Chains A and B, each alone.
Chain A
Amino acid sequence: MARVEFINANLAIAEGVMAAGLRFFAGYPITPTSDLFEYLAVELPKRGGVVIQFEDEIASINAVIGASWGGAPAMTATSGPGFSLMLEGLSFAIMTETPLLLAYIMRADPSTGVPTKSTQADVFQARYGAHGNYEIPALVPWSAQEAYELGAKALWVAERLRVPTILLSDATLAHTFERVEFVPVRRAERKKPRVPPEEYRPYEPEDDLVPPMASFGEGYNVMVESLTHDERGYYAPTNEAHRRLIWRLVEKVRRNWRLIHDTKTYYMDDAEVAIYAYGSTARAAYAAVKELRREGLKVGLVRPTALWPFIDEDLKRAVGGARRVFVVENNIGLMYKEVARALRDKEVVSAPLIDLELPTPDQIIEVVKEWRR
């Protein structure tokens, strides 16, 4: 049997990414993310990796970009204010198709807010924070066990799709200690060029829209270009090249959504009412669903393990025949906007329950019952 430990979600992420083959971590202290960094500072060097503390978040993400081009599966971790500082680097990584993992441990609300507590306020910041047209995968665990698994998966997705990937956890999970089984995970691997150096074009995609990636020092001519570029990596300020590149960057993530998404459903077979919840809030929603079922209501839970890219057809399949959908989230009702847009034929109700700890099952039950009347 795999090793079992009693740890919090931050340490579970650290274990997950190490199991998936993380080689480089760059970071800067921030609550509630620092213990992930501290744990890696002790553990990763033992496994041959490198951990460096930088002078700020801007340096951290750019060091990760450098390490990634140096050939190492690389990550950083931060929270809201730090993520804001990383956005220029994130946009650069999107444009240059640099694989990297960014563990984003959400804390409560604008600016300093409540650093030690959580809401789910940054689900749009994770998606739309950087500038430009883009799609970005964002995985969202609900437990320490899933933080381990999705941490590994997020690193794998980043390398597989050559895209910066976000693992969106929160302070509640960061403080939640649970049993975590270190199950085997897929090792992160990036596609390597299959052509000789003279034929290699660094941004020429294969059928899955992902270009094979040569790192520095592998004998290939590597041109990392953040200007709009053609397949060779040369600046191409034309409509044709620009449209081709932007649509490929977006479609690369959208079309490969099955590699990212794994929407879970609970009690949905005969459900008339569905609750859509993600991350830590889904735990309370799950308890509420079980309680409502005991009372005889046909309620189920739809829980995405990835918020972005948002795939309408995946949500439609998960919701199935339910006619009413409650979107329960610990913010002002953000994902509701996406769910309501995707499920126009259903009654979609926003249940924004801002709570620094976690919305309680009772609060959710109250919302569901209120609407039944």
Chain B
Amino acid sequence: MSLYQQRRLTNIISMSLSVIATGIALAFLCWILWTLLRFGVPHLTLSAFTQNTPPPGSQGGLANAIVGSLILTVGGVLIGTPLGILAGTYLSEFGRGSRLAMVVRFVNDVLLSAPSIVIGVFVYEIMVRTMGHFSAYAGTVALALIVIPIVVRTSEDMLQLVSDTMREAAAALGAPQWKVITHIVYRAARPGILTGVLLAIARVSGETAPLLFTALNNQFWSMKLDQPIANLPVVIFQFAMSPYEDWQHLAWVGALIITFSILVLNIVARTFTRGRRPQA
């Protein structure tokens, strides 16, 4: 075989392997989504949304878990977003070269990559143990701790994409700095920041590990925030691991609901930045 043929062959083989690798990755995505549809759809009935989680062996739904998940997610996002946006503002607007900004940027990355179960353990230590019982508050704080680093990161990135000439133009018109930031910079970066918040929502709505030790679960309809609260991920975990068939069916329904909501959120978040990306 000539050197030329050998090189061509190497190229063809490696390129085919690359196509195969892509095929494998996509195949797993399809396999997982297909599994969810196959096991989730047959049991996806109206009662899944209207009835509470049942005791073993009887019919029921996921209403309390869905509402609980919504409460925890909204709570986590309400705490995490303002803090995250303000911290991101500091990093991009005030702190630029400062030492505090450098440290916070790094520490934020640490928080971003911290295993979520460690966050659960931390919140258990500081809240559940001191309060003496599991509660929706603790779950909310755990989720907020996951939201914060995501929002800090995306807001800083998006604010930095706003060109300095725009800031200078506003300042030249006599606008004070807070007005420049809140009226000009935020407005220009809004789609990007919104994307970050949506991605954070998508991320926390599937989080299970931190809720195991904080919000725990509740078999009943509960709106009390200082009590354990039902939530989809933990219900899915408990029901999937249970020997009861009814529970396992509900676990698949929950898995289907959660995954497809998250996929939709992700796709919506993407369309926000598409085309309307702030000018670099």
A and B from one assembly? no
